[in-house]
Structure 1
Amino acid sequence: MTAVVVSELAALSRRRAIAAADAEALRRSDAVKTAVLHAVSHDLRSPLTAIRAASGGLESSALELDDEDRAALLETIRLETARLERLIANLLDLSRLEAGAARPSPELWSVDELVSRALDTLGADTDRVRVRFVGETPPVRVDAAQLERALANVLENALGLSSPADPVEVTVSASAGEVLVRTDDRGPGLPEEDLERIFEPFEQGPGSRRGTGLGLAIARGFAEANGCRLWAEPRPGSGASFVLALPAAPARTRVEA
């Protein structure tokens, strides 16, 4: 009799744990849907308004525009279009990650190639990033497109937290079977309680001047999908550090590189 009671209590405990997990998953799903609606209603509208105003200025016969004015309006359209593209790409990436559909296609890559690919996506901001390699680093086996996106999002976050006059510093090194890519910004820093919260979708750190709070959530999602780790650390003095740890490829597979 006692064994039956214990078994029923254990089964009840398991059912409650499953129900609690399902409720938490539903809560997170609802929170993401609410945030996506906010992004669509606000963050999409802002660049669209700027594009509409700039294109209207170019079309208006009532305005006398010189070449410099036209170039400025065209640059506004270009920048706001790029902003829209990033937002839409982030929303699609978040949707894939939430659905568990972001399956990586790993191949052998050197980390300097991945860093270079990520830098290429930054446009003019590339000049604000200083990269330093410490010693030799082994190759890694990852999905290059996903890790490029993860690195680019971390860099975008650092650039948004730092003033235009301050560089973002990236240090690449090998440590205990991993390759570490450390990104240091010159922003206001992160309090201890925000070191994990910052990776939640639509969360932004203090002082952020760009983005919707999707970049770091997507970066961690792609990192973990590839067996990597991404975390934040407070930085002595000012700013914060974001560390991406990529497992080194097994030695027997490196002949493919």
Structure 2
Amino acid sequence: MTRTRLDVLVHELRSPVAALLAISEVYADADYSTRLRLVELACTAGASLERLLTDVTEATLRLTRLDLGRIALDACETATLGGSSIVVAPETDTALTVLGDATRLRQALDNLIGNAIGHSPAGATVTVTATRRGGSCLVSVIDEGEGVLPEDLERIFEPGVRATSARSGTGLGLAVVREIAREHGGEVEVESRPDWGATFRLVLPAASVAS
């Protein structure tokens, strides 16, 4: 395994590990129904860990029809367990059917949400929405951070490139998101300007009725 691949693996293990730690911290004081939900979230994090550790050499897709909006809501719910302020926009659609790999798409959304949290000031809110646009399904993640310079809007998706040195990071998360999006026939978009935050969108083709 090359050094680059090892760096990516270490980076991607952080989200499911953080999720399991957050779940363990709140589990003891949770009521019965909440505990059932926490177990579901823990199982998802465990599946992500297993997939990352066994699929290191080659990123393969396990495609099924799935609800992208539901995956986005699960990612938001897990992020809030760690104390982050995540708002799911009212127009969020939980019936966005795509042909995709649930674990890989969750990986991409965890990275987008984690990136937004990391670039937002303390006490700020990250907003997530899932909608349709023509024949595409979109998940938008909006932060209240420092924004991205115009000349960096494309570079930030390159492995190892970071738009700022003010915060810690490896510069790998957005590169992974783009890779996953393109493997699904989609793309990741960004809109930003300095001091106005940033909006990142995971854009995937909607599944046809016959697929």
Q: What is the TM-score when the length of structure 1 is the normalising length?
A: 0.57
Equivalent residue letter for 1:111: L
- Correspondent of 1:231 among 186, 189, 192: 189
Matches within 5 A, 1:159-198: 159-198=117-156
> Max radius of gyration: which structure?
1
Q: Does 1:150 align with 2:108?
A: yes
Percent of residue pairs bearing the same amino acid type:
35
What is residue 246 of structure 1 aligned with on the other side? 204
What is residue 24 of structure 1 aligned with on the other side? none
Q: Does 1:132 align with 2:55?
A: no
Shift of 1:196: 1.0
The alignment yields a C-alpha RMSD, in angstroms, of 3.0
Cα deviation per residue 1:47-72 (whole Å; 9 max; x = unaligned)?
xxxxxxxxxxxxxxxxxxxxxxxxxx
What is residue 104 of structure 1 aligned with on the other side? 61
Q: Which structure dedicates a bigger proportion of its chain to helix?
A: 1
What is residue 68 of structure 1 aligned with on the other side? none
- Correspondent of 1:119 among 73, 76, 81: 76
CA gap of 1:233–1:146, structure 2 versus 1, over 3 A, is same
Q: Does 1:203 align with 2:149?
A: no
Unpaired runs of at least 5, structure 1: 1-31, 45-88
Shift of 1:127: 4.2
Q: What is the CA–CA distance in structure 2 between the aligned matches of 1:162 and 1:189, rounded to whole Å?
A: 9
Shift of 1:139: 0.9
CA gap of 1:127–1:154, structure 2 versus 1, over 3 A, is same
Q: What is the CA–CA distance in structure 2 between the aligned matches of 1:123 and 1:133, rounded to whole Å?
A: 17
Q: What is the CA–CA distance in structure 1 between the aligned matches of 2:170 and 2:195, rounded to whole Å?
A: 27
Contact 2:146 2:194 in 1 (8 A): no
Q: What is the CA–CA distance in structure 2 between the aligned matches of 1:141 and 1:126, rounded to whole Å?
A: 32
Equivalent residue letter for 1:119: C
Shift of 1:146: 0.3
CA gap of 1:208–1:150, structure 2 versus 1, over 3 A, is farther
Shift of 1:157: 0.5
Shift of 1:117: 3.1
Q: What is the TM-score when the length of structure 2 is the normalising length?
A: 0.68
Contact 1:161 1:188 in 2 (8 A): yes
Matched length: 168
Q: Does 1:212 align with 2:170?
A: yes
